[in-house]
Amino acid sequence: MEKLNLLRLLLLGLAVVLVGLRPSTAFQSDELLVEDEEFGLEGSAADIPYARPSAPTPIRRRSSDPDSDSKIQFTLEHAFGDSDFSPAGTFSARLKTWNHGGQTLTKLRFSRNALTEAEKEPFQKLLQGDDFYRIRLPSDVLSPPGRDYIASSVKARCLPRDGLDEHFVIHMEGVKLLAVNYGAPGACPYPRQLKLPSKWAFNSHTVLKSSEQAQRTPIFTEEITVGENGEVGVAPPPERSFWAKYWMYLIPLGLIVMNAITQAMNMPEEQAGAQGQPGGGAAQRAPSSAVRRR
């Protein structure tokens, strides 16, 4: 009993370690790593001073010279429930112009404004009412907001852990932002429990994603050439043993042979019995008849 408990504890510990590891492992697999600094990951709480009272920076850009990289900024806005949107942080990125004329965003950095006292109250209300915390970004970073804002929202109760953990996935196409997916970095199981954060600071993770290329359809040349080139073609099935191939015929054959032998064995015996003891004992005859009837 004691041992079992110990084992269970050990397993539990293992599971906790595994669960703790999981987001980071999945996190890596998600990203398209064109450059090493494709994504900026900030907010491991230690290196970002959340108390930084940075006022919402107006969007400014210096992209007059298309040949060089230029810096670009765009604002994250948030809303509590049905309230109006207000600035909540700034994304800054490098706009890289390629030789063929395409433009891409790299080196995305994010600085999140801390929640002000005036914002904490509506946020607490959201937590109590299990309501939506909404964010939005311009769909075009060069001429915000572009055609429309790209918006996302999450039930506020998903965010609080120690602090407020948030996770952005920004899907982009060139310099256009397609969609932003916002939510908790981990799970948010359904009966959402009310839990107030111990620290009113955001812990942000950001991933920039662009489209994957679909795998090309494999094009095969004719079967014969494949066979000539190597062993890629259809290999002949390995020769099976005689028994494996013909067991189904052999078993009945064996049965027949066995049957014939027993009959043949019975025959002389019976004849001998009939000759030796014409009066016959019932004790001898009964088994023989049983054999014959089978």
β-sheet with 202-209: strand ranges across:
176-183, 164-173, 202-209
Q: Binding of other proteins at residue 259 (CB under 8 A)?
A: yes
Contacts of 112 (CB under 8 A, 6+ apart): 43, 48, 50, 76, 88, 89, 202, 204
Rounded Cα–Cα distance for residues 38 and 210 (Å): 11
- Binding of other proteins at residue 199 (CB under 8 A)? no
For residue 94, state whether it binds other proteins (rule: CB under 8 A): no
132 is a site residue for other proteins (CB under 8 A) = yes
Least distance from other proteins to the Cβ atom of residue 219, Å: 5
Task: Decide if residue 147 touches other proteins (CB under 8 A).
Answer: yes
Q: How far is CA 52 from CA 44, 88, 94, 123, in A?
A: 15, 13, 23, 20
**One of 171, 266, 270, 273 touching other proteins (CB under 8 A):** 171
The one among 11, 17, 250, 264 contacting other proteins by CB under 8 A: 11
Asked if 142 is part of the footprint of other proteins (rule: CB under 8 A), the reply reads: no
Alpha-carbon gap, residue 55 to 204, rounded angstroms: 18
Instruction: Establish if 242 lies at the interface with other proteins (CB under 8 A).
Output: no
Q: Residue 287 to residues 58, 116, 270, 276, 290: CA-CA distances in angstroms?
A: 109, 103, 11, 17, 5
Q: Which stretch binds other proteins (CB under 8 A): 42-50, 51-59, 179-187, 193-201?
A: 179-187
3, 60, 100, 216: which one contacts other proteins (CB under 8 A)? 216
The answer to whether residue 84 forms part of the interface with other proteins (CB under 8 A) is no
Kindly state the DSSP code that residue 61 receives in the 8-state scheme. B
Which range binds other proteins by CB under 8 A, 33-41, 48-56, 163-171, 239-247? 163-171
Query: Phi and psi (nearest 5°) for 138?
Result: -70, 145
Closest CA to 198 of 239, 236, 164, 241: 164
> For the packed helices 282-293 and 242-276, what is the interaxial angle rounded to 10 degrees?
150
CB of 61 to other proteins, least distance (A): 19
Of 16-24, 52-60, 93-101, 105-113: span binding other proteins (CB under 8 A): 16-24
Of the candidate residues 217, 230, 241, 268, the single one contacting other proteins (CB under 8 A): 217
Q: Provide the 10 A C-beta neighbour count for residue 142.
A: 16
Q: Choose among 180, 81, 64: nearest CA to 123.
A: 81
Among 41, 256, 264, 267, binds other proteins (CB under 8 A): 256
Residues within the interface to other proteins (CB under 8 A): 8, 11-12, 15, 18, 22-23, 26, 82, 130, 132, 134, 139, 146-155, 158, 167, 169, 171, 173-174, 176-179, 181, 183-191, 209, 211-220, 232, 234, 248, 252, 255-256, 259, 285, 289, 293
